[in-house]
Amino acid sequence: MKVYIYILNTLADWEIGYLTAELNSGRFLDKTRLPVEIIKIGNTTEPIKTMGGITITPDENIDNIKFEEDDLLILPGADTWTEEENKKIIDIVSSIIDEKVIIAAVCGATIALANKGILNNRKHTSNDLEFLKMFCPEYTGENFYINQPAVTDDNLITASGIAPLEFSYEVLKRTNLMKTETLEAWYQLYKTNDSKYFHALMESIEGA
């Protein structure tokens, strides 16, 4: 499975940290599935600086990517989503979302999607409904807004910037990259810090 991560300046490190760690390490992924290929993409292949000051260099320019059905595109939050250079990826999302590419957007990326009108007829969430209505003139999707940390509607996943765990859970659930019992134990372990879920997690991957 190909996983594309859009890289932009001021990327919010914590919002995708759980997800990238599990996708990259593969430690709890279902070993009966094809391996995950992570590809970092950007408007250029010039390095960016995350909000945490980490330098990340994209692997590919977005102009060179051909998305296919069931690919995953992760759109992290950032303070720079309103900049002109990031409109290209949102235009691409607008053209591929109906082709069953899985779009996973968190925090500021949901603002960009709302501005494009992509959230007007799909269930979604964001940091706050009033924030979307105030700053997104093309947004008319109030009736589809769900006040939850993360929401999945078919191949669209959206989340608040303060819900990186729930965001990761929804992505892993939608992609079936973990067995159900593994995912539930993994989520509950990080959510509750109860050691019984660590044992459940280990049991779920024994012999895998």
Q: Is 107 marked active-site?
A: yes
Check which CATH number belongs to the domain holding 21 and give it. Answer: 3.40.50.880
Query: Cα 153 to the chain's mean position, in Å?
Result: 13
Residues 206 and 145 in one domain: no
pLDDT one-digit tens code per residue, 128-177: 999 899 889 999 999 999 999 999 999 999 999 999 999 999 999 999 99
pLDDT at 34: 87
DSSP SS3 for 103: strand
Q: Which residue, among 164, 192, 193, 189, has the nearest Cα to 205 in the 3D structure?
A: 189
Domain span including residue 85: 2-177
Residues 6 and 16 in one domain: yes
Residues 184 and 172 in one domain: no
Q: How far apart are CA 42 and CA 192, in angstroms?
A: 36
Q: Within the chain, which residues score under 70 in pLDDT? A: 207-208
Residues 135 and 155 in one domain: yes
Residues 169 and 200 in one domain: no
Q: Which of 12, 89, 102, 107 is catalytic?
A: 107
pTM given for the model: 0.96
Structural domains of the chain, count:
2
